[in-house]
Amino acid sequence: MEPVTGWIDPAWVQRQLHEIRGVADEAEVRVREKALWEAVLAASARRTCENPIECARLALTSKRTLDLEAPSNKEERLAALFRQLLGRHHDDRDRPPRLVPADLRGVREMFSAMKRGEAIGFLPDQVPGVGEGEWSEFFGRPAYTMTLAAKLASRDNVACFLAFAKRLPRGAGYALVLRPFPEFLPGETATRRLNRALEELVRECPEQYLWGYNRYKTPEGAKPLPA
């Protein structure tokens, strides 16, 4: 199944499904149909479709897709979250995200946004300032890790997921990759859980991670780990 390129619409998806289901080999039908839904979701995330909400709805609510993927409850929640995110993105696509300062005022603004039902985002692998983090393992080495994002992700009433934009070959753009936040392991701290989630994300596409960033530096004024 070739990746979807250019602008697509739900009618095009239905025509593709009709052609796919005309294939005699049922195993091949399942492979092609799964590839189609994955391509439709990727195109929806990139907004390269006439109606991204409808295309995503088709892909995410297709009974055959759910049968193929055999999703767990966590994956179903992620799908619902994706639908919500995509819908808001389509409605507010002309309104850019708002940046807030990395200080107490910014924290207050983020909490206010969450109370309004808005989404907030972090760059959780950035080294925080003194007093805003704690030492936690990241790829086998201690790294000063922000506590705010880790604590928010631990709240029961917060839906948390990981995302990154994966560069496509030959300048074709980006594919939005979304992953559910992992559950706690026994005895695991909130910051270690955060770093473990980031490690799993980096392993999906290590060649595109910014390894040149000094993730292991000690921020000015922070107490270094004992030698």
Q: How much is the average pLDDT of 9-17? A: 71
Query: What was the pLDDT predicted at 91?
Result: 47
Distance from C-alpha of 19 to C-alpha of 56, rounded to nearest angstrom: 20
- 136 vs 30, residue with greater confidence: 136
> Tokens 């799964």 — which residue?
34
pTM flag (> 0.75): no
Q: How much is the average pLDDT of 146-165? A: 86
Q: How much is the average pLDDT of 137-145? A: 95
Q: How much is the average pLDDT of 146-169? A: 86
Query: What was the pLDDT predicted at 63?
Result: 46
